[in-house]
Every structure is written in C-alpha cells, then in structure tokens.
Amino acid sequence: MQLYGTEITSRLLLGTAQYPSPAVLTEAVKASGTEIITVSLRRETADGSGTAFWQDLQKTGCRILPNTAGCHSVQEAVTTARMARELFDTPWIKLEVIGHSDTLQPDVFGLVEAARMLSSEGFQVFPYTTDDLVVGEKLLEAGCEVLMPWGAPIGSGQGLRNPDALRAMRAHFPDVPLVVDAGIGRPSDAAQAMELGMDAVLLNTAVAKAGDPAGMARAMALAVEAGRAGFTADPMERRDMAVPSTPVLGMAEFA
C-alpha cells in the first residue's frame, strides 16, 4: 500500500485516545502490528505536560499521523494542522472539520476548503469524509491523494452502515487509497470493509474500550488481513438460488 509515496505494510491504522494507561496503549499498538498511529494535537498541552506522552508514542517506532480532531471550522483545522506539523515534523495530517455535534459528521464544504488550503502549503492530507462520490472528487481536485470515508459515526461501533456506498467508492476511485475511518466496532466489521476492497481501516474506540485492548488489537489485525486476502482472492458472487455442490449429471438412479 502506497500512501503519498510511502510504502506501508500493515493495513490497520490505530488511534491513541481513551486507553486506560500509556502502558496499555503501547501493548495494543504492538499487538496490532500497525505502522501508523493517529495523534490528536491537544493545545492545552502547549505547556509541555504532554511531552512524556509524545515520547511514549515515538518509542513505538510507528509513523505519526496527527489529526485535527475536535475542529469545527476551517480556520481552526488549518491552524491546528500547522501546529501539528511543527510539533511532529511531518507533512501528514488527518483532516477533520466537524459539522454536526451529535453525529460528528464532517462538514464536507469546510473540509474541501481546508484541504485545498493545506495542500497548497505542502501538507499531505488524509481527509475524514463521508461516502459521497462528489465530495470525494472535490477532495481529490483539492490535492488529496487519499480518501478516508466513514463507516459510521465516530465511536459508535455500528460497523458499516452503508456498504453499498463504500463499494461504489471503490468502483469510482479504483486507483485512490481508501481507508475506512470511524464506526468499526468488531473484527467482523473490519473484515467486511476489507472484503469490499478498501485499502485499510483506521479504528480507535473498538480497541481502546475493549476489555482486553491488546487482544482486540490483535483480533482486528487478523480480521484486516483475512478481509484483504478474501478480496484479492476474487470471491464468488452471491446467488438467489441454491446451486448443488455435487453435480447430479451422471449420477446413478435407483428405482
């Protein structure tokens, strides 16, 4: 998998919020086998209180993907992205511009505007978006090379609410990396996303809030691997009628 020219082996991206402790987070990251972890820039840690947390993340050896979580306006998201680039020394940014407080649905109009601004400044933008094809096209025109459609609202664990839309995105954007972001609650959800042809899955709450975060992280990694293998194996189409697995032609007939 290529993301902005960087080859990535693991197709599971992991968030770093809501874990019981830094030690549990580190164990989960290791168990997942992920190479990319997302990190929210907390402006209240500008006094240095978050330094130990950043150091723990760096020790994992994973690539950091900062995000603009919690931003509700273009200016807020752009400013946060600029701060993140200085702090983490990376052009990568997971761009979130939230438009609805309850569903945390992206403000797609602000998202496209912010993506265009950041791309012009040299950022490599990973936009958290809806599964709308037109919005996807606008984001690509704005300079994005990756799309991150939601599976369901953030933290809901509902799984894929509209698999047909994700399937349509895969068909419409055959050469664009697609990463399902948000809504994954169980390993079966992750496997389903990969079976639809998604290139990767990004999840957080499903692992962080599990009774055994490291165990769930490992389960998600296996699900992503199985789902990808199933997709590349070209699975059979579903049928409306039963089809016998044993041919009846040539079988003996008994009176």
Active site residues: 94
The dihedral built from the CA positions of residue 148, 178, 192 and 206, taken in this order, carries a sign that is negative
Q: What is the DSSP string of 182-248?
A: S---SHHHHHHHHHTT-SEEEESHHHHTSSSHHHHHHHHHHHHHHHHHHHHT-PPPP-SS---SS--
Give yes or no for a contact between 176 and 156, defined as CB atoms under 8 angstroms apart: no
What distances in angstroms separate CA 153 from CA 94, 105, 172, 190, 194, one per listed residue?
A: 16, 7, 23, 15, 18
